[in-house]
Chain A
Amino acid sequence: NAGVMQNPRHLVRRRGQEARLRCSPMKGHSHVYWYRQLPEEGLKFMVYLQKENIIDESGMPKERFSAEFPKEGPSILRIQQVVRGDSAAYFCASSPSTKTEKLFFGSGTQLSVL
């Protein structure tokens, strides 16, 4: 049973470009969470999705950021018109339920904005 898969591992974008980060949850998991880790900071919750629904996006910046988890395919975190301050590690986690002990994390995507 493969773990949570994130790709790419490293993503380099110039200011103003779009970044798309993908997360394939573990098989059988219908809950997906995105976290961001800025340099010298802990992981910060961004958004919680279930299939085709956004449950909690209280940690998402109001502009330029969006997330989806379609019926088929991976969850996508999309950042439009990236700025240098978006440079961070983005982690995805999945679970089969709302129980935290069943939460599994991916290895993350390191986004660098030039």
Chain B
Amino acid sequence: GDSVTQMEGPVTLSEEAFLTINCTYTATGYPSLFWYVQYPGEGLQLLLKATKADDKGSNKGFEATYRKETTSFHLEKGSVQVSDSAVYFCALSDQGYSTLTFGKGTMLLVSP
């Protein structure tokens, strides 16, 4: 079955540091890939997505590139802010509708 593996957290960084959160997947078809973010006390929000190989999703300074050859979708940001502190979930959709398979989530803590 489909699965998503992402790096364990928490990831602790200082403000303006470079961020990478690794995500790899296993899927039978050609999935769409997503990053969701969950701020404390809130629901998950779509951060960015990519629907085919070599697509790059980007939003709010975050980027991720769909790498079919390495089955990866790593999340990056060049300079993190304290307000980026949240839990980040990598996910894939391999169905005709919005059924998502999620990773376990990675907590990011950014200190001033």
Cα distance A3–B44 in the bound complex, in angstroms: 11
| B104 proximity list for chain A (CB < 8 A) | 40-42
Type the 1/0 row for B72-112, where 1 means its CB is closer than 8 Å to any CB of A: 00000000000000000100010011111111110000000
B46 on the interface (CB 8 Å rule)? yes
Type the 1/0 row for A24-60, where 1 means its CB is closer than 8 Å to any CB of B: 0000000101010000111111001000000110000
Chain B: interface residue total (CB-CB under 8 A) = 23
State whether B44 touches A101 (Cβ < 8 A): no
Chain A: interface residue total (CB-CB under 8 A) = 28
Type the 1/0 row for B47-66, where 1 means its CB is closer than 8 Å to any CB of A: 00100000000000000000
- Given known contacts A41-B104, A101-B49, is B99 in contact with A56 (CB within 8 Å)? yes
State whether B43 touches A100 (Cβ < 8 A): no
